[in-house]
Amino acid sequence: MLLRSQPLDPKVYKKLGLDERSEYEEMTEDNIESQFIGKMFDDILDDDEKVTLKMRIEWKWRDIKDMFYDAKRAIVNCFKWRKTISGLYPWEGFDGLVTVMLFHLRSYVEYEEKYGHSEEEFKKSKIASARETIEILERMKEPDEDSHKRLKEVETKYPDYKYLITRYKNGGGSYSGDFTACGAGWVGKESGKNPREGYFEFIDGQFALTSSPDQGETDRLLAELSKYHEEREEAYRQAEIDSEKDFEQLNQLLKKNLYSWWD
């Protein structure tokens, strides 16, 4: 990706025997050839000016050069985009959009650091805002990563919890609830509709709620289980809050910088 404002690579100046600042030194009062009031970048002829064969050849030659430049740019872009394109599916939605945005912003930071010629503090500010946007987009690429991290922190505090595993004759299976060993059985709470909680034992192959040999210990473990569930819910809630903050900050970064990044 080439930026419109990108100057020549310093290596090119050396090969041509030029000074790196010569591009700007040419734009001085001493080098003015003529001045006029008009529109920039328009090939508008005066009323009395005729289109000559030389002009037609020059225009055609410019079109040919543009054609080869476009072809070269297309080849370079295909090479640069190959990993990004190979990782995208036609049906991808937000995730694909984030992938493309990340590619462009990383390329922008790379070229702005090498070729950017804005005032130094403004240049640093643009790069910093682009890097912050990249960090947010990288988190959005893995939207469950933050909640998984927070849940892992909670679960490490309660390493003894197990799940009730159920296997079915048709080959299916399910798991439910959180249980911790207590004596000859398990204390915990089932998940799903109308869950049972308390002290359980396996009786005739069935997981059955039964009287606890130590009700005080059962009550303590159930209170701990309730705290565990509260901390899990809080972890999910904080992850959602962080996600909302990311979206709000991304909105502000794009609103403030989207056009100035590529000026």
User: How confident is the model over 197-230, as pLDDT tens digits?
Assistant: 999 999 998 899 999 999 999 999 999 999 999 9
Three-state secondary structure call for residue 180: strand
The residues that bridge with 179 in the sheet, in sequence order, are: 162, 188
Mean pLDDT of 150-167: 89
Residue 233 has pLDDT above 50, yes or no: yes
Tell me the per-residue pLDDT of 65-113, one tens digit each, with 9 for 90 and over: 888 888 887 887 787 777 777 777 777 667 778 888 898 899 899 888 8
Confidence of residue 8 (pLDDT cuts 50, 70, 90): low
**Domain-wise residue ranges, the chain:** 1-23+50-141, 148-241
pLDDT at position 60 over 80: yes
**For 115-151, how does the pLDDT look when each residue is reduced to its tens digit (9 = 90+)?**
888 788 888 999 999 999 999 999 988 878 888 899 9
The whole-angstrom separation of Cα 87 and Cα 80 is: 13
101-126 burial, b at 16+ Cβ within 10 Å, e below that, comes to: bbbebeebbebbeeebeeeeeeeeeb
What's the rounded Cα separation, in Å, for the pair 216 and 131?
55
Instruction: Give tens-digit pLDDT for 17-26.
Output: 555 555 555 6
Burial class from Cβ neighbours inside 10 Å (0-12, 13-18, 19+) for residue 185 reads buried
d(CA 75, CA 57): 27
Q: Tell me, what's the pLDDT at 23?
A: 52
